[in-house]
Structure 1
Amino acid sequence: MSIRLPSADGTFRTHRSNPLRSSPLACGPVRSRRFYAAAHVVADPLAASAESGAAVDWDSTLAFRHRLWALGLGVAEAMDTAQRGMGLDWPAAAELIRRSAAEARAVGGRIVCGAGTDQLPAGGGHTRTAITAAYEEQLAHAEECGSGAVLMASRALAATARGPEDYMEVYGGLLRQSARPVVLHWLGPMFDPELAGYWGHEDLDRATEVFLKVVAEHPAKVDGVKVSLLDAEREKDIRRRLPSGVRCYTGDDYHYPELIAGDGELASDALLGVFDPIAPIAARAGLALDRGDPAGFRGLLDSTVSLSRHLFAPPTRYYKTGVVLLAWLAGYQEHFAMVGGLQSARPLPHLATAYELADGLGLFPDPELAERRMRQLLAVYGVAS
């Protein structure tokens, strides 16, 4: 089998499809690390217009989470990968959390859910009291559903805060009242430009000090921190300075193999958007780590970095488009429509390369189906394959 694919320079190349099918795998959770896949949502393409809110295909969305749990991965629900702030509104996110937490309980799957402030109108002008109340509403919802919470970075707080003291006050109040330890998420501006200057400083060194101070003042209420800055050395520094018992969950979709492998003394756990499309390989890599085979672990996970860096290439916030494309090509959903029409956020050559790299990794259970669907996508753009 072969397919003609477009390149960014306007030329075409022939890709010979990988005949290898990804073999089924069912296993328990990774023991030596915590692995969470930040999971995407499947849109309902036949629902009413966007004015009625985000339309989700619940059956397909939850079926994908069951695939992740069957692979031994935890699910990080209603996070950036699920299009929070990019099509998925709070009512839909709240329902997603409720449904996913119930499914996790039914199968004994590990889950954490994102809690933010996205029920507030866009823009600044919100009081610190209103921002705190919004966080409290979402935190309470996640905990009432039986899930651990990830305190997501807040656009409203970033727009309103006058300095580090506002961050200390908001996060300190939330941590004092949380029912269980939470994960603190620092999402960098490459993922969301509205989060520039988070923790009260544009300078990352000064921002890091504020972030670590929040953790240091409430270590018993912090399960871990998720660092999504695409800066491996900064993550290693943060990891080294965390209080005992506080985990570092890497959110670095560029350097995750080395960060999870560790330096012989410290290692990162994982809460990654790229674990959604590469879940079978991530699970096998985790098993290699459990059986004391670090070389096998690196060999498996290192092979995925080219795909991940491509998916998360600038503008990084549109990585979700490639994630959903690969789920469709793999047969995990029946269409390439996305909440908010985000399937149009990446150009066709980018999508073609994502297909090519994923196929080279053997990520498609049915390579013929993947190639056929890629041909359908090319035809929509008027490309003869």
Structure 2
Amino acid sequence: MTEPVFQRERPTRAYVLHPDLKAQDARRMPEHRLAEAVSLAVALPMLEVVGAEVVRLPKPHAGHLFGTGKLAELKERLAEAEVDLVLVDGPVSPVQQRNLEKEWGVKLLDRTGLILEIFADRARTREGVLQVELAALSYQRTRLVRAWTHLERQRGGLGFVGGPGETQIEADRRAIDDQVVKIRRQLAKVVKTRELHRAARRKVPFPVVALVGYTNAGKSTLFNRMTGADVMAKDMLFATLDPTMRGITLPNGRKVILSDTVGFISELPHELVAAFRATLEEVLEADLILHVRDVAHPETEEQAADVGEILESLGVAEDVALLEVWNKIDALSPSLRAALLAQDARREEVQAVSALTGEGIEALYAAIETRLGEERFDEALILPFEKGRARAWLHEQNVVRSEVETEEGWQLEVNWAASQRARFRAL
């Protein structure tokens, strides 16, 4: 990975720009997008945000993103504020980045680069660190800008007798590709270990309840409230990056595994969607998903739509039970709060809570108990070979945990509910 841009004694003075393009998603207000970008910047400890603004753009300029007039106006503003770093909330091509840095005399990061910096700062587990490195290398590879002249490029031919610029870029690409291969090998080992842990956990008859939601929705605060754990929970985007799991006992005595996950965000860079799919595997295998929403946020509906789209893209099965947890009701005005609690009372799939104060948590536990349905338990079975139909039924029910063929028949370990056991006895 490249050296972080923020390692200096004094805070890096940052200025946030949100280019408001006509073709952008109309669901989001540009002012709210800018506020989210500022929150992203504040999530890095060594950044001091000294200014932020929305820049209206009819269309992006190919070489500089911004037009000539706006370019000069911003240069003056950045110089006055003694800015070290400009954060552009959107994609910036390698050529645009190089030209803007040269024009303004500052370091520049686009949205993807900023999110990568945050992920690098937050990742704690071995897998998380490797996934960040992989995503950063993929991003860095696209930043290798061809800086040589037109004649050097002409002379380059197939690259065997190319100019010095081409030779250096190809060497850099090979170095990055070699590093990617190494990290993928290391990841394969880590993922294999995690798969073994998950396989062992599948044998434990505890259902998995996964918390998902837009970043900063309060998932980690809710996780801490429910488990008594001390997971990092701050009013900050991407406070949690690595999945955290804890066992909890519900009021009815049933044990479940609660999983806290990385927060979702709109327009998550594609490098990170791929890289962090592994950290969301717990969601793919969950028995129940709790979609935590910040109902006090002005764009809570848009955030919920983004989460829904990401869950769909991850391939989360439609038959996985899902509860919406409307969090931060303590931050609502009395009238809004009353209206929301009235909706909560009418809809079984919604639970209104305050993870901060604990209000609504008992009702949430009861809803989880209802959604998970019957308790499951382990049992050992021996089936003679002539009971092939009964064996097939067990596999159809997806209750078989292990199976060994012996001289007498099949020896099976199953994990099932009492109703499944009763139906099996009736076969």
Same fold, judged at TM 0.5 (above): no
Select the structure that is richer in strand: 2
Greater relative CO, 1 or 2 (CA 8 Å, sep 6+): 1
TM-score in terms of structure 1 length: 0.30
